[in-house]
Every structure is written in C-alpha cells, then in structure tokens.
C-alpha cells in the first residue's frame, strides 16, 4: 500500500478527529498494516514459531524503555515509547510522528491506554494462532472461526484509537457491562465479516483460506456463491442484533452516557470507514472490477484454486 492510502483510511475511520490526533492515527494504521502484510504475505507467512518470536519482540518494544533491535517494525513500535517526539517526513504524506505511543499516553486516559496495549497483545496472540492454522491447512468450524476472527480484526486496538482520537474518557466499569460487551462483539463481527467478503479473492489467490467464507464453504459443503449469500444474510442479521443491543443500553449517568454515545458513534465510523475504503482502495478490487461506486453488484474474476477443506 502507498503511504498516502493511510491518510485516506484514517480520515474515513476517524472523521471527527483534529489534525494532531489524526496524524497519530495515520502512523498507527501504517504500522498495523505493515505488520499484517508481513505476516500474511512476507517471509513470516505460515511460520508460527517466527511469528511468535516476533510477537515477543514487539511486546518487549512496548514495555522496555531501553529496548533496541535491528527489526524495523519492533523499532517503529518502540518509538511509541520515546520520551521526545521525533517528526519524520515521508514522501507524499503529511508528516508522520513515530512516537505514537507517547502521544497517546500524553492525552488519553489510563484506561484507554491499557485497552490500547491489551488490544495489541490480543491481536499479536491471534496472529500466532491463525498462522498455525494456516500452516496446517486447518479451517475452523464457523462458530469457532467467528470467535478467533474477533481478535484478528484488531477491534480493541481500533476502539482504543477511537477513544484517543476524540479524547473520550470512560470508566472501565462501562466496558464490563453485559450489553456493552455484546455490542463490542457485534461490532467486531460486522467489521470482520464484511472484510472477509471483500478480502476473499485476494486471500484465496495466495492460498490463504483463513476466511469466514472458506469456513462456511467447508462446514456447510456449499459453493462459493452460496457461501457469500449465507455470509451476507449473517451480516444483515448481525446488524439487526447490533441495533437491538444499542436500544438496550443502560444509563450510566448523563455525562458518561454522552461519552459512551461518542465512543459508539466513533466505532460505527471505523466500521463504515473500513467498508468505504475496501471499495475505493486497490487492495481488494481492481478499477476494472469496481467499474464505478454506484454499481449495486460486480463480477469478480477468481484465480483457480482448490476447494477449501478443513476440520468440520
């Protein structure tokens, strides 16, 4: 991905952030997409032991003040902890600050900062699990895949950026509320499932079947178009469940309720921004396939591969 694409996705995901907060979000997304692509397509592909080793390295980069490494991604992450901001001019982008963690730490609440770190930890752990499944050509059952996908979609990491981008300060007990927990799960599912529809062709062309579409095909013994239809119906039902859950939110007091609605609206912006970006970026579709954003459907030319199979 070209660097200027990160400014676009950040603007879609965090439309109400000011420039200073948006710059930090751009840097975070640049780092996260770089790590994701290295794990999925680069030298770490299908090597869980190496991914686990790198995860340990990244955690050291987060937690140790005097950390040093020749790994560029670990050092990018370590820059989050520098005590002094260092501005880096990158071609064709706005200036990006590497010391993202310090910027987040300076203005966000302790709870949000903790959720940011835990979100990264959950994402790292899920990437190790997914890499093992990829190596073993193991496609989990649908119900199991849905739970795993909630971690690989990096929802907590993005939700923490929502808190940071809008200077939201919510007490931790709000996130322990049963309805808020279910809203969180539904939001992750909606974001992950739409992404699996958009990313399926790219991933299957790389012989990567860690995708909910593939899980549905393998578990329900259906062809691709039927699996897409099933997932689309699942997605519509999940959106309805999400709307119903929002209507059941308890009151935590006027001030907290206002902050919570800002947070939920921000999460919805991230989901909608991801959808818009998926269809405007060449990451998943060519300009020929898109043909114009006003189209209601399109034909995708698939690379010929074997039918996905796995544990059922």
The pLDDT tens digits of the residues spanning 275-305 come to: 988 888 777 877 666 665 554 555 555 655 5
Mean pLDDT of 153-166: 90
Mean pLDDT across 41-58: 63
pLDDT over 70 at 95, yes or no: no
Question: Do residues 138 and 212 lie in contact, with contact meaning Cβ atoms separated by under 8 Å?
Answer: no
Cα–Cα distance measured from residue 272 to residue 155, given in angstroms and rounded to the nearest whole number: 13
pTM (predicted TM-score): 0.78
* pLDDT value of residue 291: 60
Name which of 11-25, 40-54, 84-98, 137-151 the model is least confident about.
Answer: 84-98
**What is the dotted CATH code of the domain comprising 3-284?**
1.10.600.10
What pLDDT was estimated at residue 68?
A: 76
DSSP letter, residue 70: S
How far is residue 279's CA from residue 282's CA, in Å, rounded to a whole number? Answer: 8
Residue 148 has pLDDT above 70, yes or no: yes
> Which tokens hold the place of 162?
């929502």
In this structure, of 102-116, 199-213, 236-250, 296-310, the range with the lowest mean pLDDT score is: 296-310
Please check the confidence at residue 53 and state whether its pLDDT lies above 60.
yes
pLDDT of residue 29: 83
Q: Which of 12-16, 32-36, 173-177 has the lowest mean pLDDT?
A: 32-36
**pLDDT > 90? residue 103:** no
Give the tens place of pLDDT for each residue, 193-216: 999 999 999 888 888 888 999 999
Mean per-residue pLDDT of the chain: 79
- Residue 289 CA to residue 170 CA, distance in Å, equals 43
Q: What is the CA radius of gyration of the chain?
A: 19
Higher-confidence residue of 235 and 52: namely 235
Between 4 and 211, where is the model more confident?
A: 211
- Distance, in Å, from the CA atom of 42 to the CA atom of 84, rounded to the nearest integer, reads 32
* pLDDT for 27 beyond 60: yes
Of 28-37, 216-225, 282-291, 299-308, least confident by mean pLDDT is: 299-308
- From CA 67, how far away is CA 265, in angstroms rounded? 37
What integer is the mean pLDDT of 26-54?
Answer: 65
Measure the CA–CA gap between 149 and 214, rounded to whole angstroms.
13
Does 55 score more than 90 pLDDT? no
User: Residue 127: what pLDDT?
Assistant: 78
Q: At what angle do helices 48-63 and 110-135 cross, to 10 degrees?
A: 170
Spatial separation of the C-alpha atoms in residues 25 and 96, rounded to whole Å: 9
Is pLDDT larger for residue 102 or for residue 49?
A: 49
DSSP strand pairing (96-97 vs 87-88): antiparallel
H/E stretch holding 175 reads helix 172-175
Is the pLDDT confidence value at 98 over 50? no
Chain Cα centroid distance, residue 252: 28
Average pLDDT rounded to a whole number, residues 5-17: 87
Cα 172 to Cα 273: distance, rounded to the nearest angstrom: 26
Residue in the block written with tokens 């709000």? 174
């Amino acid at each position: 991905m070209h660097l200027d694409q990160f400014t676009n996705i950040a603007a879609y995901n965090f439309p109400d952030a000011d420039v200073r907060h948006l710059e930090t979000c751009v840097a975070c997304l640049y780092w996260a997409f770089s790590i994701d692509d290295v794990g999925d397509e680069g030298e770490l592909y299908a090597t869980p032991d190496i991914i686990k080793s790198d995860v340990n390295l990244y955690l050291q980069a987060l937690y140790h003040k005097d950390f040093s490494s020749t790994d560029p991604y670990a050092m990018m992450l370590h820059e989050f902890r520098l005590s002094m901001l260092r501005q880096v001019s990158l071609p064709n982008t706005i200036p990006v600050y590497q010391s993202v963690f310090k910027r987040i730490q300076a203005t966000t609440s302790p709870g949000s900062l903790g959720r940011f770190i835990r979100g990264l930890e959950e994402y790292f752990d899920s990437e190790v699990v997914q890499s093992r499944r990829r190596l073993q050509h193991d496609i989990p059952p649908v119900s199991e895949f849905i739970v795993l996908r909630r971690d690989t979609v990096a929802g907590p990491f993005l939700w923490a950026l929502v808190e940071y981008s809008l200077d939201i300060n919510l007490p931790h007990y709000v996130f322990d509320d049963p309805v808020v927990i279910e809203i969180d799960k539904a939001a992750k599912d909606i974001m992950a499932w739409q992404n699996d529809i958009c990313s399926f062709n790219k991933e299957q062309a790389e012989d990567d079947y860690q995708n909910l579409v593939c899980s549905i095909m393998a578990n329900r013994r259906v062809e691709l178009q039927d699996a897409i239809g099933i997932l689309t119906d699942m997605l519509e039902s999940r959106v309805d469940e999400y709307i119903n859950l929002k209507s059941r939110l308890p009151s935590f007091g006027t001030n907290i309720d206002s902050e919570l609605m800002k947070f939920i609206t921000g999460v919805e912006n991230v989901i909608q921004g991801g959808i818009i970006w998926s269809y405007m970026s060449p990451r998943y579709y060519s300009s020929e396939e898109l043909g114009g954003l006003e189209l209601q459907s399109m034909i995708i030319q698939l690379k010929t591969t074997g039918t996905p199979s796995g544990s059922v």
